[in-house]
Structure formats: structure tokens, C-alpha cells
Amino acid sequence: MLTHDFYEFTDIEVSLMHCLKPVFALLLSLTLTTSLFAQEDETTWKPPALDFSKPATFVHEWNRLGIEIIKIDGFTPGSAARNYAYANVAAYEAALPGFPECRSMAGQLNGLTPGPQPEKGQKYDWRVAIVSAYQNTLPNLIYRRYISDSAAEAHYAILSDMGVAPDVMERSKAYGKAVAQHIIKWMSKDNFVQIGAKTRYEVPIFLGAWERTPPAFWDPVDPYWNQHRPFIMDSASQFAPVAPPKFSTDPNTEFYKMVMAVYNADKNATQEQRLIAQFWDCNPIHSHFEGHFMYNTRQVSPGGHWISISAIAAEKKGLSMMESLEMYVQVSAALADGFISAWDTKYRYNLIRPVTYIQKYVDSTWLPYIETPPFPEWTSAHSTISAAAAAVLTNRFGDDYEFDDWTEAYLGLPVRSFKSFRDAAMEVTWSRFWGGIHYREACLNGTEKGWQLGEFVVAHVKTRK
């Protein structure tokens, strides 16, 4: 048995580490770094034990591996959600021929056409096929590509030990790879490359416009993200919220009162509200300043947090491999489109953040409790995507599904318990307000439109015939 400050590994996990030396070395180094944020009095948390006798474990492990790789690579929130969506669609389509009751995403997701079919009369192992699909899709989405191969080889070894015949193994690998290549071709037409090649964004200047925010004053992130092809939405503006109130510094106006609500909420925040703000921070690249020294740490992105919640819920319910893939496809499509929708609104209004307004017109020394991310206000993207994911999960598990969320335990934060996905999404909504980075109205508008988007995904992405 191998132990660490936050982890106690089972024998099977130790053997898996041997196969996954590059993966484990990287993830352990990250754990050692992030554990510096732990509170001394926090209860030691242990991750769930792996059970590869359950085929769904392979699916959950690939999604959790995706969370870790994306966290380390420092992808922007929209890009991270895009990565989850393509990887899970590839795995779903690779397993599809083994589950005739299920329906292809071809013709349902924008631009996706029918993919390759397995050879008739031949035997396949669909666990191997999905591992191969993840293995061959992820290198086109992440920077540390070797991790994908290392994880796949470890899983192939486990499956071989479980009795998968060599010819079935190779045939299933080849099929998974063929599906991945089909998904990669579809992915290449989503405008991602063209967006990345655009000229530098010129931040508009007007009264009440967004400005770079402290402490790092980063350039605006993904200003052209609304030009990304949606997965299921008709357009980036399909779920556009109402416009923000008119900018003003007059104390009698709606805008000024909206700003002061943030300022006063911060001054009167409770310890519980601070904890909630920190728990849902999910800032992919968190800045730290010590005098003239500045460094960044990585955190799970907002989309990654909801992929983690999805895994927690699926394992508690005991969903099968295919049921888990159905869930991940719908959730990740909702997350990806949620960011496209929120970013469309953000850069349409380019609205000033609370920290900029308050420092200019109210209190020059004020800073929000959590770091303001580098993109405009209105609406809250985290509120949007959380509500979208919660709507999808509510449809699948019910409106009273209780779960314990340990996603942020790697930071030393306590496990939080929720009575439903709706409750978790609403906590996200308030967390951005209590954290001082969003106006309350921006959070509530984002939640409303996100829930509508999630219901739209459920209504239009059908996984069963």
C-alpha cells in the first residue's frame, strides 16, 4: 500500500502506476503543488478505489484523466469544454455498434456525418474500442499527448489480463482509431483553427467598457469564441440573455445599485459564503503575487468541475458503460455550447467588471475575494454552463438526486454535499456574486439561459431509438 498526504493507493492502483509512470509522475507533482493550499485541520480525503471489472470505469477514468491533463495544460474554459465534448463523442460513437438500442450522434450534432462501421461477422470488444477512441482523439486536443498513449497502454494491459484475445484487441483498437479519425475530421471544420489565427483583439473603449483586471491584467481570453461552430445550438446567440442596465455612476440608478450590491456583499460575507466562492472558483490559471514575484497555479476549469460531478453521480448510480457515455455526450455538448453562448454575450456588451468600477468610483483599495478572470462581465459563464449541465443531469438522474462533490479536495477544500444538481448550480450562481467577480443580475441571467440550453440539449440530443 502506497500512501501520500491526500491519497492512499490500492494494490491495483499501484500496478497501474507502474504502467502509467509518466502520467503518475506529472499528476503527483501537481498534487504536491496544489496541496500547499490545504488547511491543516482539513480531514484527509481519499479518492474512490478503481474497479476495472466494471466497464464504465474505463469511461470515468478517461474523463478524469482529461480533467487532469486539461488542468495542467492550462486550457481556457471554452477550449476545455470543447475537448471533453469531442473526446466523449468519439468514445460514444466507437461503442455504438455494440448497443443497437442507442442512436448515433450523426445528424444530431451540427456537421457530424455517419462514421465508419465495424466489419460484419467479426468480434469486437467495445471497452477496447472506446479506449482507442479516447487515445486517438485526445492527442489532437491536448498538449501533453504522451499521457494519452501511456493511459491507453495501461488500459490495454488490464483488458488483456481480463482475457481479451489478441486478434479482438487489435481489431477493436483499429476500429476505435478509425472512429477517432472521423471525429477529428469533423472537428477540423469547427472554426477553431481560424479563430486562433485571427488578429489580436482590440478592446473597445467607451464609458463602462471592460478593462484588464488586477492582479495580472491579462489580455481578454477567447474574444472570437462565439464564431466556434456550436455542437447543438442553431447559433451562438440562440440563448442570449437580456441586456445589462445602462452604465451610470449616479447612486440613484439601477447600475450603481447593482455594483454596490457586490461591494456590500463582499464586506458582509460569511465564512460559509467565502468557502463557497473558493470551492467554485475554478479559475484555470490562478495568479499569485509575492512582492515582485509572480507565479501561476492550475485549477480545474468550470467545465471540468461538472464533468467530475457527472462521474460522481454516475458511479453512485452504477450506470453502465454505455449509459455513462450517453451522459457524458449530453453534458459535454451542453458545456461546450454554454461557453459559446456566454462568450457571445460577453463580447457583445464588453461590460465593466465590478473590480474596475468599484476601484474607479467607490473604493480604490477594494479587491474581490477571488480573482476576476480575464474577460468581460455579463453574463456569468460559470452560472450558464453550470445550469446547462445541471439541467442535463437532472433529466437523467431526477430532481432530488443527492451527491457529495469532492472535486476540489485536491486543493484541501472540504467535500460539499448537495440535495440536487439544481442546488449545486444555484450555489455556483451565488458563488460568483459572493466572490465579488460578477453582478448578481449577471449570474441570475446566466443561470436562466443556461437551464434553457440544457433542456434544449436534452430535447434535441437523443441517445436512444
Residue 245 to residue 80: CA distance in whole angstroms: 31
* Sign of the alpha-carbon dihedral angle for 300, 306, 311, 313: positive
23 in Cβ contact with 147 (< 8 Å): yes
Q: What is the DSSP letter of 252?
A: T
End-to-end CA distance of the chain: 46
Q: What is the pTM of this model?
A: 0.91
pLDDT of res. 33:
34
Does residue 377 surpass a pLDDT of 80? Answer: yes
Cα dist from 325 to 63, 88, 96, 220, 317, whole Å: 10, 7, 10, 34, 14
Kindly state the average pLDDT of the residues 414-425.
97
Q: CATH 1.10.606.20 in the chain, residues?
A: 8-192, 207-460
Residue identified by cell 504536491 is 32
| DSSP per-residue codes, 336-400 | HHHHHHHHHHHHHH-BPPHHHHHHHHT-TT---SSPPPSS-BSS-HHHHHHHHHHHHHHHHH-TT
From residue 76, give the alpha-carbon distance in Å to each of 282, 346, 465: 11, 15, 35
pLDDT digits (tens, 9 = 90+) for 125-170: 999 999 999 999 999 999 988 899 999 999 999 999 999 999 999 9
pLDDT of residue 5: 29
Summarised one tens digit per residue, pLDDT across range 90-110 is 999 999 999 999 999 999 999
- Percent share of the chain, pLDDT over 90: 84
pLDDT exceeds 60 at position 115: yes
Cell numbers representing residue 420 in the block: 440536487
pLDDT band at residue 297 using 50, 70 and 90 as cut-offs: confident
**Is the per-residue pLDDT at 42 higher than 50?**
no
- CA quadruple 230, 232, 234, 236: dihedral, nearest 10: -40
Rg for the chain, CA atoms, rounded: 22
- Could you tell me which of 299, 324, 455, 315 has the C-alpha nearest to residue 388? 455
Helices vs. strands in the chain: H and E counts, helices first? 16, 6
CB 266 within 8 A of CB 437: no
Q: Residue 27: is its pLDDT beyond 60?
A: no
**DSSP-assigned beta bridge partners for residue 464:** 102
Residue 29 pLDDT > 50 = no
**Domain 8-192 classification at class level:** mainly alpha
Which CATH code of 1.10.606.20, 3.60.60.10, 3.40.50.2000, 1.10.540.10 fits the domain covering 207-460?
1.10.606.20
CB environment 434-462: b (16+ within 10 A), e (fewer): bbbbbbbbbbbbbbbbbbbbbbbbbeebe
Q: Is residue 282 within 8 Å of residue 302, measured between CB atoms? A: yes
